[in-house]
Structure 1
Amino acid sequence: MSGPFGATSTTDDVLAGVDLSGKRILVTGASAGLGVETARALAARGAHVVGAARDLAKAERATQAVRDQAAHGGALELVELDLADLASVRACADALLADGKAFDIIITNAGVMATPLGRTADGFEIQFGTNHLGHFVLVNRLAPLLTSGSRLVALSSSGHRFSDVNLDDPNFETTDYTPFGAYGRSKTANALFAVEFDRRHKDRGVRATAIHPGGIHTELGRHMSADDTARMIEQINEANRLSGAAAFEFKTIPQGAATSVWAAAVAKADEVGGRYCEDCHVAETLDGDNPTRGGVRAYAINAENAKALWAKSEELVQERF
């Protein structure tokens, strides 16, 4: 275990005494919530943060605190990225590649949750297309900028427990669509992407991990009504009662971003590489009908499942990596 951290630890707790001067870090979704807090905490320790956002004007307004608190040479620059449009993803990646500056860490923080059925610009189901395929193309195109000692931190979620990926019907063309079922598929995909990316790159010293930030009030939940939220919390608490766990409590945004920065800059690479983490530790692997809310389902870190998802993703985006 890398440090005495847990569910209530904040980004400042985790990064206390950590010097990130000279580090260059890409954070997607740097226009609200966890993305802004992640960028702030890293820049405050000296990192040069490249924040990617779909709406640059919104990101400029939201990240003033990042610039205000940047220290020890830390800085923030913003780049445009619409993960729901692969032309935008490729343009963003091409510009960063042309710039030629290496990244020490990439944190794929951006995402959408529980949306109505919709399609990306390329025709993919919007949650799978945005949360997984957009990041799949972006990170793989940027892989040459990751050198030995670099890390990828992919934000997954306990929502992966809603469903495994469905590689026969990834776009809900023949199966019934449910907002949380689709979210679960995309978050399982995020975890599996980290598993396979880690396998492909660890021999050159580049590691990848997936993390669950916890339940946090952010813009991510904008498609959920108050009733939706209440039902979700009741389901969580029912599982907690069955397992003897405490009642659910929302994390603050600094607590929610803590596992991202822990996995990126504090935990040992061999400890978290290819793993799924939560509450600043590697999660227990669960199988069967275990009611515990914590932990990761075995299918979300299964190596063969990860390879199959990678191949299907290449087929869908029509690009091999």
Structure 2
Amino acid sequence: MTQLFGATSTTDDVLEGVDLAGRRILVTGVSAGLGVETARVLAARGAHVVGAARNLDKAREATGQVRAQASGGGSLELVELDLASLASVRSCADALLADGRPFDLIIANAGIMACPEGRTSDGFETQFGTNHLGHFVLVNRLATLMRAGSRLVNLSSAGHRFSDVDLDDPNFDRTPYSEFVAYGRSKTANILFAVEFDRRHAARGVRATAVHPGGIRTELTRHMDGSVFQEMVDQINVANAEAGRPPFVLKTIPQGAATTVWSGIVAAGDMVGGRYCEDCHVADLSEATDIRSGVHAYAVDPERAKALWARSEEMVNERF
């Protein structure tokens, strides 16, 4: 019988008894929070983890527990990656390609949330450029290293409900900037990227999925005032009470990273391929306007995914 996991399952619950010896896994954003926990549980099960981070000094300090708990041949190697710079992204990808060792799993974990209006070094709106375009170029450049049976896991969010992607004005050149609309666009893009990547690579046994880790207090919320965060929680709980649902509960970091490793390692590829997952299961479609479980249809629309792919290629001036 297949073990069932849920919202309170942790990374150790999901990977209990799983041997990852010989697996090579790339995790972006290993300098804090979910990235560190994801790297820890993978290395502890014997995987060789390649951890990417913008600040290597911060990543070395943050990943002490990863190295300390690595066992069964597990290890951690750090590489420099600034997703807000395509020059850095391409340099990182080139180095990994030159190394030539294949990957069994790529986890696009790094991201930013609700930050003030700004631009990446390439002129893209900061959240869309970092959360989507940086990973879009990195993963596509590394696709030839993904062996049959491997997977891509994109970290998205229930925040995709804030907005669909805007393919006509991705950089807010004509649209008034809103930090949460920008975040929503980038998180919807993470899902659509997984949908189209899965369509393109499923025939060779490479699958892709997107996940919502749940509500967690990590460095991701550093741009948010504490009162704003609490106001969002209060609004969710009002909606939950009106709908007869239980109160919103924050997850721990090990609980938040559980869906990542579940969808990347434990779940069947045909189950999660091209889908959006939460609480260690595949989410249902939901058009509810409040932020709760489920995925909006626009975020898993295959035609929308193809259009985003084409627009992304145009923006980064590279075809995959």
Q: TM-score by structure 2 length?
A: 0.98
CA distance in 1, matches of 2:13, 2:243: 29
Q: Which amino acid in the other structure matches residue 34 of structure 1?
A: L
Identify the residue that residue 217 of structure 1 maps to in structure 2. Answer: 217
Q: Which amino acid in the other structure matches residue 56 of structure 2?
A: L
Identify the residue that residue 132 of structure 1 maps to in structure 2. Answer: 132
The 5 Å alignment of 1:137-286 reads 137-286=137-286
Identify the residue that residue 35 of structure 1 maps to in structure 2. Answer: 35
Q: Which amino acid in the other structure matches residue 152 of structure 1?
A: L
Identify the residue that residue 75 of structure 1 maps to in structure 2. Answer: 75
- Residues 290 and 227 (structure 1 numbering): CA distance in 2 closer, same or farther, change over 3 Å? closer
SS in 2 for 1:296: coil
Q: Which amino acid in the other structure matches residue 62 of structure 2?
A: A
Q: Which amino acid in the other structure matches residue 296 of structure 1?
A: V
Identify the residue that residue 95 of structure 1 maps to in structure 2. Answer: 95
Structure 1 consecutive aligned stretches of length 4 or more whose deviation exceeds 3 Å: 289-292
RMSD, matched Cα: 1.0
1:25/1:106 contact within 8 Å kept: yes
5+ residue gaps in structure 2? none
Q: Which amino acid in the other structure matches residue 127 of structure 2?
A: Q
Pairing 1:307–2:298 present: no
Sequence identity (%): 72
Spell out, residue by residue over 1:201-239, the C-alpha distance to the aligned partner (whole angstroms, 9 max, x if none): 000000000000001110000000011111111221122
2:236/2:290 contact within 8 Å kept: no
CA distance in 2, matches of 1:33, 1:99: 28
SS in 2 for 1:284: coil
SS in 2 for 1:35: helix
Q: TM-score by structure 1 length?
A: 0.98
2:158/2:291 contact within 8 Å kept: no
CA distance in 2, matches of 1:229, 1:44: 33
How many residues are paired up? 320
Q: Which amino acid in the other structure matches residue 16 of structure 1?
A: E
CA distance in 2, matches of 1:93, 1:300: 27
CA distance in 1, matches of 2:199, 2:305: 10
**Offset, 1:314:** 0.2
2:161/2:291 contact within 8 Å kept: no
**Offset, 1:290:** 5.6
CA distance in 2, matches of 1:307, 1:244: 38
5+ residue gaps in structure 1? none
Q: Which amino acid in the other structure matches residue 276 of structure 1?
A: Y
